[in-house]
Chain A
Amino acid sequence: MNAPLPKRKLKVATTSLAGCFGCHMSFLDIDERILDLVELVEFDRSPITDIKHCSPDCDIGIIEGGVCNAENVHVLHEFRKNCKILIAMGACAINGGLPAQRNSLDIRDILAAVYAQPGRGVHIPNDPEIPLLLNEVHPLHEVVRIDYFLPGCPPSGDAIWKFLTDLLAGRTPTLGHGLIHYD
């Protein structure tokens, strides 16, 4: 009989695009269970590690927030290229969420309304260092293929824990009443 394969920790990368980091904060609400989690996974690119780019062999990418600017598009493509499984976490990643409520307005009008001060002229930021805004905010699955969706604004720590433990155990993640929430 073959010896069992040595257990390898799964590499998990996380990022927030057009989100508020609320989902990441909720992720930390798994509290001490994070100790059980790090037995099974190691964190790659993530605000937790401050690693700037994904390793090419990430197993799971968790993305919070939709896509609102050019940089978001680049980061999302980097995650898709380097992660075997991509999870859209939270309302913004799934349907654009609160940032997408600007989609009914013209981007030029929005910038003018925000940056045009009465009597002081219009100073719409245009430094090349600043990522270019997209005309509309998009959910992740409109830009790349997404494997799993974890709804909530934010999903609760318990929902994130249930979802990840299902996934790590090889089950299709399901939430059920009390854990599935869109708000």
Chain B
Amino acid sequence: MSDPKTFFLDEEEIPFEEGQTIIQAALSAGKFIPHLCYHPEFKPHGSCKLCTVRIDSRTVTTEDGQSVKIPGRAAASCTTPAQEGQHVESEVPEILDLRRTLVQMLLVEGNHYCPSCEKSGKCMLQGLAYDLGVMDPHFPQYFSKREVDASHPDVLLDFNRCILCELCVRASAEVDKKNVFALSGRGNTKHLICNSESGKLGDTNLAATDKAANVCPVGVILHKRHGFEVPYGQRRFDIAPISDNPVQYAPVKEQV
């Protein structure tokens, strides 16, 4: 067998298999790259841009002997295939600043009130914001007016917290084969909708055991009668930061 192919992530050599994306190889090798819309079980979506990295920056020497860094291209590491010898920058100040800004924009766009959110302590958006050290929203709060859908007997939808990652859309279509969710509208008016004549979740065939009902990275799709079950201080991101043990987000290798 030939030597495994490798690329460089923040100067560290990372092995990869042909066809793997940068984020898949990085997570499998124990290197965390922040992400929201990426999920190991689904096709990459490339929409949240949190996993953006810089690829193949170059340093050139000018005529007067000065070294100038020419930044490489920025790309979503969840949709970019890893390539032999590639140099990828992730944990560098300019990329971390960009990720911080993206998180801040998500936090002001929706109504993210962590103290009253059932997902607090295990919310990916919150966990990433903690990890990136987001202390302030920076932007003016958008205070969007969004509804809550409590029509389903077992599942509650709080659209105030939707980040439009489409994980529930993909899960419902690809795994559950039910097509319960979709995104509608464009730009500012883009929002999550339910596939029923009334538009209500209660009139769809979603079951609480469906993949779609258990994949939301934030606090939109919630199970009724199961809020605040883990006490403050013992929740997932109270115990360990989101970047801890990156292999948990890596794709599971298929058994041969």
Task: Say yes or no: A100-B143 contact (C-beta < 8 A), given A175-B135, A183-B115.
Answer: yes
| Chain A residues in 8 Å Cβ range of B108 | 95
Are A98 and B115 in contact, with the CB atoms below 8 A?
Answer: yes
B133 CB within 8 Å of chain A: yes
Given A95, A148, A177, A180, which contacts B137 in the complex, CB threshold below 8 Å?
A: A95
B129 CB within 8 Å of chain A: yes
Report B23 CB to chain A, min CB distance, Å. Answer: 22
Are B113 and A91 in contact, with the CB atoms below 8 A?
Answer: yes
B204 CB within 8 Å of chain A: no
Are B135 and A180 in contact, with the CB atoms below 8 A?
Answer: yes
| Chain B residues in 8 Å Cβ range of A175 | 133, 135
B34 CB within 8 Å of chain A: no
Report B163 CB to chain A, min CB distance, Å. Answer: 15
* Closest chain B residue, CB of each to CB of A180: B130
Inter-chain CA distance A96–B130, complex, in Å, is: 19
Inter-chain CA distance A175–B112, complex, in Å, is: 21
A182 CB within 8 Å of chain B: yes
B114 CB within 8 Å of chain A: yes
| Chain B residues in 8 Å Cβ range of A97 | 113, 115
Chain A, residues 89-115, CB within 8 Å of chain B (1/0): the string is 001001111101101100000000000
8 Å CB interface, B199-239 against A: 232, 238
Chain B interface residue bracket vs A:
20 to 34
A165 CB within 8 Å of chain B: no
Chain A interface residue bracket vs B:
20 to 34
Report B179 CB to chain A, min CB distance, Å. Answer: 29
Chain B, residues 101-132, CB within 8 Å of chain A (1/0): the string is 00000011001111111001100001001110
Task: Say yes or no: A139-B137 contact (C-beta < 8 A), given A97-B115, A103-B143, A183-B121.
Answer: yes
Chain A, residues 144-183, CB within 8 Å of chain B (1/0): the string is 0010111101000000000000000000001111101111
Interface residues in chain B, defined as those with a beta carbon under 8 Å from any beta carbon in chain A: 107-108, 111-117, 120-121, 126, 129-131, 133, 135-137, 140-141, 143, 145-146, 232, 238, 240-241
Instruction: For the complex of A and B, list the 8 residue pairs with the smallest distance between their C-beta atoms, beginning with the closest.
Output: A149-B136, A182-B114, A153-B115, A183-B114, A183-B115, A149-B135, A103-B143, A104-B145
A sample of 11 inter-chain contacts (CB < 8 A) reads A91-B113, A95-B112, A100-B141, A100-B143, A139-B137, A141-B137, A142-B141, A174-B133, A180-B133, A183-B120, A183-B121
* Known contacts A100-B143, A148-B135, A183-B121; 17 further A-B pairs (Cβ under 8 A): A88-B136, A94-B136, A94-B137, A95-B141, A100-B141, A101-B116, A138-B141, A139-B137, A142-B140, A176-B133, A177-B130, A177-B131, A180-B130, A181-B130, A182-B115, A182-B126, A182-B129
